[in-house]
Structure 1
Amino acid sequence: MHPMVKPALRRGWRDLKTVQFGMTPVHAMTLGPMDLATGSFLDLLNGTRGLELLREEGRRMDLPDGHVDGLVRGLARAGLLDDSRGGGPAADALRKKKEVLDRLRPDLASLSLTTSTPGDAIGQLAARRSQRVQVRGAGRVGAVLASLLAGAGVGEVDVLDGGSVEPWDVAPGGLPPESVGDRRDESARRAVRRAAPDRPPRRASAQATEEDGDPGFSLVILAPRDDVAVHAPDPAAAEPLMASGTPHLYAGVVEGTGVVGPFVLPGETGCAGCLHEDRVDRDQAWPRLIAQWRSGRQRQVRPCDLTLATTVAGLAAAHALAFLDGRVPSSTGARWEVSVPALHWQARPVRAHPACSCAAAERGIGEHLSEDGESHETMAVQRPSEHCRKAEAERPAGTWRAHV
């Protein structure tokens, strides 16, 4: 182990015996009591020395026997320590790709804030490289979303869509102006390759996985350009995903509202079918409206505010990455919605419905506490072992005090 105090956290002395790590209430932590010699020793915990060399440095600084080991253990227990050589073989392979890792260093620093075991952050970052994600839809939301995932280190991001790029599909970070007239899916895949820090090889064809819910995908994101499909996702379109047990997330813009969610763990959380059944219960006219919206004449250009679409793409990508990194995002069992011009985010529950064929309702209805700490009435979400590689770290907001 080569201990390293997490560089993502700013450090400062609150007084002569107390050091604070981090600035924001979510991550700030104080450590004490601490003498000045120990405080100076913290500078040596930069990942360049193993434990034996650190013990020698401690003896040169007249630190008591065992003090270095105790300090390292205390910092590790507090979640303040990383290991510059940890993370396993995949992390070692990533370190050898210096240019790739340099592109991802901000993401690595961010992951270090949400992991506690030394070496976990780069281990998670390296694990992203083995993930396969498919984005269905290459408009202002889908193309940007796919590029964000690729830029964050997801190993393979495929994009499905039909038709050709129109001028109104163009968006910063997504489809460029020069792609107008080209095939929409191929243009989106080119954008993905440009965004990726380590460009994956081009796939000869995606036809084998089109619309079949390929279980090889870690996640499928449905980001349709059709505003009706955003507002009222068709349960039939997700049947292959439900049958194969493929986790999937909905995202898009309808009129002046951006939507992220629900994030669906098939058979365990509320899905598009549950959403539809609940709406039918609450509004007898809903089936009639849906039939008209889906069969009516389509507008050539649908409303899709550029900044709202980019915001939705960013939030959806963040929720997707949270899942890929082993956590349950707050869009599980909920739809996050935001409308212009007020831009107030709110979560609307997507309850598991007993009439839905997904059978998620059999697991019971409860209350889900979202990551923002606000209580939302929705299905009680447990962390399914088959979908999440590790339990979500439970760390309350506020300042922690640890004694070394």
Structure 2
Amino acid sequence: MHPKVKPALRRGWRDLNTVQFGMTPAHAMTLGPMDSATGHFLELLNGTRGLPLLREEGRRMDLPDGHVDALVERLARAGLLDDAKGGSPAADALRTKKEVLDRLRPDVASLSLTTSRPGDAISRLAARRSLRVQVRGAGRVGTVLASLLSGAGVGEVDVRDCGRVEPWDVAPGGLPAESVGERRDEAARRAVRRAAPDRPPRRGPRPRIEAADPGYSLVILAPRDDVAVHAPAPDTAEPLITSGTPHLYAGVVEGTGVVGPLVLPGETGCARCLHEDRTDRDQTWPRLVAQWRSGRQPHVRPCDLALATTVAGLAAAHTLAFLDGQMPSSAGARWEVSLPGLQWHARPVWAHPACPCGAAERGKGERASEDAEAHETMAVERSPRELRRTAGAARPAGTWRAHV
């Protein structure tokens, strides 16, 4: 082990005996009591020395026997320590690709903030390289989103769409101006390759296939059609539900950006659940949707550039959290933000009993089990937090990535 204090956390002394690691409330931690000699020794925990050499340095600094090992163990237990040479075999392979790793060093540092065991951060980043994600939609949201995932180290990011690039599809980080007139999917894939830390080989044209590919860890639906964003067609996701493929919705409708729900088939509410719930609350909903879908479509739909980029960024963050084994807050919820106030709020997507996806039945069984254990007889409505917790407990995110 070559221990190093996580460089992502800035360090400062609160007093003569207490050191604070990190600045923000989400990650800051204090450690004490700590004497000045130990504080100076922290500077040596930079990943360049193994434990035997660190013990020698400790003796030179007149630290008590066993003090170095106790300090390293204490820091590791607190989640403040990383291992410069630790991690999985895939992490070792990534370290040999210096140019690639240099591109991804900020991502490794960020992952170290959400992992506790030394070596976990680079192992998770290396694991991304074996994952496959499909983005359906190559507009201002979809192409930027796909490029972000590729730049963050996801191994394969496929983009599906039809038609040719229009001038209004162009966006910084997405489709460039010189791609106007080209096939939209091919132009988007080039943007994805440009964003990748280690340029993947160019692939030939692919047939247009709407059925779910069981090899994808996640499918992201980012349609250019604003109606499809506001009212996702349940039929579109049926193959994904059937194959058990997790999928995430994202897009812009009018002046509102939407991220979610992240659908875990059979676990959390899906597009049909959303439709059925809206119909229960508003009987005119199906009539309105039919008119929106069949009516005359505007030649250019509203899609604020900054809003689209914001949506792409948040959707990419939720995607990466899921791929890294976490359960983001979009599981069972839609995050929405509207111009000009730009205040994010979450709308829960409840599993509906009339939907054949099975999420409601599973939720009912979990509720019954919880009630029996607590000797409760009254039905209790689950909060979005409970929904996400039980979904994660029922099937850990890692099992959803078994499609790798």
Q: TM-score range by the shorter chain?
A: over 0.9
Does 1:363 find its partner at 2:362? Answer: yes
For the 8 Å contact 1:82–1:117, the answer to whether it is kept is yes
Alpha-carbon spacing, 1:36–1:316, altered in 2? closer, same or farther (3 Å): same
Conserved in 2, the CA contact under 8 Å of 1:336 and 1:346?
yes
1:3-402 equivalences in 2 (<5 Å): 3-207=3-207, 210-364=209-363, 366-369=382-385, 381-383=390-392, 388-389=397-398
Q: Which amino acid aligns with 2:139?
A: G
Distance 1:389 1:268 in 2: 14
Q: Deviations over 1:106-161 (max 9, x none)?
A: 11110000000000000000001011000000000000000000000101000000
Bigger RCO of structures 1 and 2 (CA < 8 A, at least 6 apart): 1
Unaligned runs of 5+ in 2: 364-380
Q: Distance in 1 between matches of 2:76 and 2:21?
A: 13
**Alpha-carbon distance between aligned partners in 2 of 1:147 and 1:67, rounded to the nearest angstrom:** 47
Q: 1:315 to 1:34 in 2, by over 3 A?
A: same
How many pairs align?
Answer: 383
Write the letter of the residue equivalent to 2:87. Answer: G
2:337/2:344 contact within 8 Å kept: yes
| CA distance in structure 2 between the partners assigned to 1:75 and 1:378 by the alignment | 34
TM-score by length of 2: 0.93
Q: Could you list the runs of 5+ residues in structure 1 that have no partner in the other structure?
A: 370-376, 392-404
CA contact (8 A) 2:254 2:303 kept: yes
Using the alignment, how far apart are the partners of 1:325 and 1:42 within structure 2? 29
Report the secondary structure of 1:47's partner residue.
coil
SS in 1 for 2:126: helix
CA separation in 2, counterparts of 1:340 and 1:222?
22
Q: CA deviation at 1:87?
A: 1.2
Does the 8 A contact of 1:16 with 1:36 survive in 2?
Answer: yes
Deviation sequence 1:314-367 (CA, Å, 0-9, x none): 000000000000001100010000000011110001000000010101122511
Over residues 226-275 of structure 1, what are the superposed CA-to-partner deviations in whole Å (9 max), with x where a residue is unaligned?
00000000010001111110000000000000000000000100000100
Q: Equivalents in 1 of 2:77, 2:205: separation in Å?
A: 48
Distance 2:81 2:166 in 1: 49
Q: CA deviation at 1:6?
A: 0.2
Question: Helix, strand or coil: the match of 1:292?
Answer: helix
1:173-209 residue CA offsets vs partner (Å, 9 max, x unmatched): 000000000000000000000001111122224327x
What letter matches 1:271 in structure 2? C
Matched residues in 1 for 2:394 and 2:93: separation?
27
Identity among equivalent positions (%) equals 79
My pick for the range that moved more, 380-389 or 10-19, is 380-389
2: CA distance between counterparts of 1:390 and 1:96? 29
Structure 1's 97 and 16: CA in aligned 2 closer, same or farther, altered over 3 A?
A: same
State the distance in 2 between where 1:115 and 1:343 align.
31
Question: What SS is found at the alignment partner of 1:366?
Answer: coil
Letter aligned with residue 14 of structure 2:
R
Contact kept, 8 Å, 2:18 with 2:34, in 1: the verdict is yes
CA distance in 1, matches of 2:26, 2:144: 29
**1:305 and 1:20, CA in 2 relative to 1: closer, same or farther beyond 3 A?**
same
Contact 2:270 2:357 in 1 (8 A): yes
Seen in structure 2, the aligned counterparts of structure 1 residues 173 and 164 have a Cα distance that, compared at 3 Å, is: same
Q: Tell me, what secondary structure is at the counterpart of 1:133? A: strand
TM-superposed deviation, 1:389: 2.5
Q: Could you tell me which amino acid in structure 1 is paired with residue 211 of structure 2? A: D
Q: Aligned partners of 1:247, 1:159: CA distance in 2, in Å? A: 16
Task: Provide the rounded CA distance (Å) in 2 between the counterparts of 1:386 and 1:149.
Answer: 24
2-side partners of 1:379 and 1:156: how far apart?
27
* Partners of 1:240 and 1:384 in 2: CA distance: 25
Task: Select the structure that is richer in helix.
Answer: 2
Q: Residue type of the partner of 1:111? A: L
**Distance change >3 Å, CA 139–CA 301, structure 1 → 2:** same
CA distance change for structure 1 residues 381 and 167 in 2, over 3 Å: closer, same or farther?
A: farther
- Alpha-carbon distance in structure 1 between the residues aligned to 2:358 and 2:320: 26
d(CA) in 1 for partners of 2:388 and 2:49?
48
| Cα 1:63–1:385 shift into 2, 3 Å | farther
2:207 alignment partner AA:
Q
How many Å separate the matches in 2 of 1:272 and 1:255? 20
- Looking at structure 2, the residues matched to 184 and 346 of structure 1 have their Cα atoms a distance apart, in angstroms, of 32
Does the CA-based 8 Å contact 2:81-2:118 persist in structure 1?
Answer: yes
Q: Distance in 2 between matches of 1:21 and 1:47?
A: 17
Q: 1:269, 1:57 → 2: CA distance?
A: 54
